[in-house]
Amino acid sequence: MTAMRATAPDLEHELAAIVGAGHVRVDAGARTVYGRDATPQYQGVPDAVVLPESAEQVAAVLRLAGERGVPVVPRGSGTNLSAATVPQAGGIVLALTRMDRLMELDRENLVAVCQPGVTTARLVAAAAEHNLLYPPDPGSRTTATIGGNVSTCAGGLRGLKYGVTRDYVLGAEVVLASGEIIRCGGRVMKDVAGYDLVRLLCGSEGTLGVITELTLRLVPAPEDAGTGLAYFDTLAAAGRAVSRVLAGGVLPATLEFLDRTTVRTVEDFAHVGLDTDAGAVLIFGQDGTPETVARDMERIAEACRAEGANDVTVASSHDEAEAILEARRAALPSLSRLAPMTILEDATVPRARLAEMVERIEAIAARHDLVIGTFGHAGDGNLHPTCVVDPGDGDAIERVHHAFAEIFEAALEMGGTITGEHGIGLAKLPFLEARLGAAQVALLRRIKAAFDPAGILNPGKLGS
Ligand SMILES: Cc1cc2nc3c(=O)[nH]c(=O)nc-3n(C[C@H](O)[C@H](O)[C@H](O)COP(=O)(O)OP(=O)(O)OC[C@H]3O[C@@H](n4cnc5c(N)ncnc54)[C@H](O)[C@@H]3O)c2cc1C
């Protein structure tokens, strides 16, 4: 950036003229809170926090920022786990949470139209009232926003059967760094007019534009759903069961795993009745017509038994199903109780290599003398190795960094990736070239420069 940064009082005054004085925060409290997100160890300090209410206000803020060369970091609820909203270069944090109108649920076209600040859970609940489903289901759904979900291409518990956020984005209104407002895609199911900018925006982490409206695809809500749980002596056996389920022609709605460390920790914390002697737990689910659910749940249970599951339970009531799902939902909060700092990653491998990857992670944890519990989306090959550590122990933190570098290396060696759903942010930028290669990173930079020549949008992150 070539222009001089505005002084804070000038900037505050001009921003207030755009969004109203009550929606510009420069107090120390706001600058601290909006200087971080859900990623430990990263903290920036913005000059101002701005909460616009319309695309026109966003455009005016971006024009001003462009003139002054001030960085702008778009932000939803700040729940991302890759330091993607940390304003390490200062500037403006543009929080989209006031733009939370759910404008339309179009039952004929099966679409929803909303502003970016709507939470995932609110959209899911509104769709359910019309007997429709918005499938992406991140664990953070009660807090995270749709704008954040699209910008990180969030996944969740239904990824195996239903895909991830990008599979549900049909159109977007976007404010470019220049202040121009464009609309890409729309309510149509087919559209090949030009490059697919909607897809490009998915996972762009606030570096290409600010999303101010979204048109999202919905599907008819399934009539019925089933949930079950299987215990295995080893994660290798659970991994083989996953392959057997899929090879048998069943595509479960949910296929999640917990490793031994996570099972014990969850039971200590959440008391959901897990067998703490288990080497691994597989949580499975199916939805559809009652007949499909009954047939597939039995087939999944059979596949688990065939691979040596010691015990397989299929929930017979809503409460039992909720208790099983609670075991998965409690994984992260339970592990977090073991030490003051929790570092969660999301290396992803081809699903047939899941068990091998968990073994590699266990060996890496032992070599670095660290506690790492691993859980995740077995059906997607998406693992969340979670390391718990004392932030005051500099030596342990150093070992954590080495361990995660080795975990990413192992994932890449297996034909996997450094992040399946949490994104690059600041946290994984050092590993991006190993994943993409130099030529592709250079292409990303040229794409970024085409959208944002002055580099004001979320600088120092993807594409910088
Ligand atoms: C307990 C917990 C569980 C989680 N579970 C999951 C999970 O199951 N699956 C999963 O994928 N993730 C999960 N996450 C991570 C996180 O919730 C997701 O990344 C989520 O999509 C972030 O949404 P947000 O509104 O908090 O966005 P933020 O964290 O505020 O922003 C994320 C990124 O999007 C950009 N951005 C936000 N809004 C806009 C906008 N309107 N225009 C342009 N850019 C924008 C930001 O600049 C940033 O780069 C979890 C996090 C926690 C804390």
Nearest alpha-carbon partner for 421 in 463, 380, 387: 380
pLDDT score of 236: 85
Contacts for 94 with CB less than 8 Å, ≥ 6 apart: 50, 52, 58, 61, 72, 73, 74, 75, 210
pLDDT score of 8: 65
φ, ψ at 76 (rounded to 5°): -95, -110
In ligand 1, which atom is closest to the CA atom of 79? 26
pLDDT digits (tens, 9 = 90+) for 137-160: 998 999 999 999 999 999 988 999
pLDDT digits (tens, 9 = 90+) for 446-464: 999 999 999 999 999 999 8
pLDDT at 2 over 70: no
Instruction: Please compute the mean of the pLDDT values over residues 74-87 and round it to a whole number.
Output: 98
In ligand 1, which atom is closest to the CA atom of 425? 49
pLDDT digits (tens, 9 = 90+) for 401-425: 999 999 999 999 999 999 999 999 9
In ligand 1, which atom is closest to the CA atom of 82? 19
Residues of the chain above pLDDT 90, percent? 86
pLDDT at 6 over 70: no
pLDDT score of 1: 39
Nearest alpha-carbon partner for 182 in 148, 158, 213: 213
CA of 136 to the centre of ligand 1 (A): 12
pLDDT score of 270: 87
117: Cβ below 6 Å to ligand 1? no
Whole-number Å distance between alpha carbons of 421 and 154: 5
Is 61 in a helix, a strand, or coil?
Answer: helix
CA of 243 to the centre of ligand 1 (A): 30
Sheet holding 280-288, edge to edge: 311-314, 224-232, 280-288, 254-259, 371-377, 382-389, 341-344
Q: First vs last Cα of the chain: how many Å apart?
A: 12
Whole-number Å distance between alpha carbons of 326 and 333: 11
Ligand 1 mutation target, pool 151, 176, 386, 422, most atoms within 8 A of CB: 151
pLDDT digits (tens, 9 = 90+) for 289-348: 999 999 999 999 999 999 999 999 999 998 999 889 888 888 988 988 888 999 999 999
Q: Supply 173's token pair.
A: 């209104």
pLDDT score of 20: 97
pLDDT score of 56: 98
pLDDT score of 167: 97
Whole-number Å distance between alpha carbons of 60 and 210: 12
Ligand 1 mutation target, pool 140, 348, 457, most atoms within 8 A of CB: 140
pLDDT score of 398: 93
CA of 79 to the centre of ligand 1 (A): 5
Ligand 1 mutation target, pool 80, 343, 383, most atoms within 8 A of CB: 80
* Residue carrying structure tokens 């794409």: 447
Our measurement of the distance from residue 415's CA atom to the centroid of its chain's CA atoms, rounded to an integer in Å, reads: 21
Write down the mean pLDDT value for the chain: 94
User: CA-based Rg of the chain, rounded to a whole angstrom?
Assistant: 22
- H/E stretch holding 20 reads none
pLDDT score of 149: 98
Q: Supply 219's token pair.
A: 């599907």
Instruction: Please compute the mean of the pLDDT values over residues 242-266 and round it to a whole number.
Output: 93
52: Cβ below 6 Å to ligand 1? no
| Beta-bridge partner residues of 174 | 182, 211
φ, ψ at 231 (rounded to 5°): -100, 140
φ, ψ at 449 (rounded to 5°): -65, -30
pLDDT score of 235: 86
pLDDT at 273 over 50: yes
- Ligand 1, atom 13: closest residue by C-alpha: 138
174: Cβ below 6 Å to ligand 1? no
19: Cβ below 6 Å to ligand 1? no
147: Cβ below 6 Å to ligand 1? yes
The number of beta carbons lying within 10 Å of the beta carbon of residue 453 is: 11
pLDDT score of 173: 98
Q: At what angle do helices 55-68 and 8-19 cross, to 10 degrees?
A: 160
pLDDT digits (tens, 9 = 90+) for 191-220: 999 999 999 999 999 999 999 999 999 999
pLDDT at 4 over 80: no
Instruction: Please compute the mean of the pLDDT values over residues 21-42 and round it to a whole number.
Output: 96
85: Cβ below 6 Å to ligand 1? yes
346: Cβ below 6 Å to ligand 1? no
386: Cβ below 6 Å to ligand 1? no
pLDDT digits (tens, 9 = 90+) for 88-114: 999 999 999 999 999 999 999 999 999
- Ligand 1, atom 53: closest residue by C-alpha: 79
pLDDT at 256 over 70: yes
Using alpha carbons, list the distances in angstroms from residue 18 to 7, 46, 211, 454.
Answer: 17, 18, 18, 21
Instruction: Please compute the mean of the pLDDT values over residues 19-27 and round it to a whole number.
Output: 96
Instruction: Please compute the mean of the pLDDT values over residues 163-170 and round it to a whole number.
Output: 97
φ, ψ at 310 (rounded to 5°): -75, -35
Amino acid letter for position 269:
F
pLDDT at 223 over 80: yes
CA of 420 to the centre of ligand 1 (A): 13
155: Cβ below 6 Å to ligand 1? yes
Bridge pairing between strands 210-217 and 181-185: unpaired
87: Cβ below 6 Å to ligand 1? no
In ligand 1, which atom is closest to the CA atom of 423? 19
CA of 154 to the centre of ligand 1 (A): 7
In ligand 1, which atom is closest to the CA atom of 333? 1
pTM score, whole prediction: 0.95
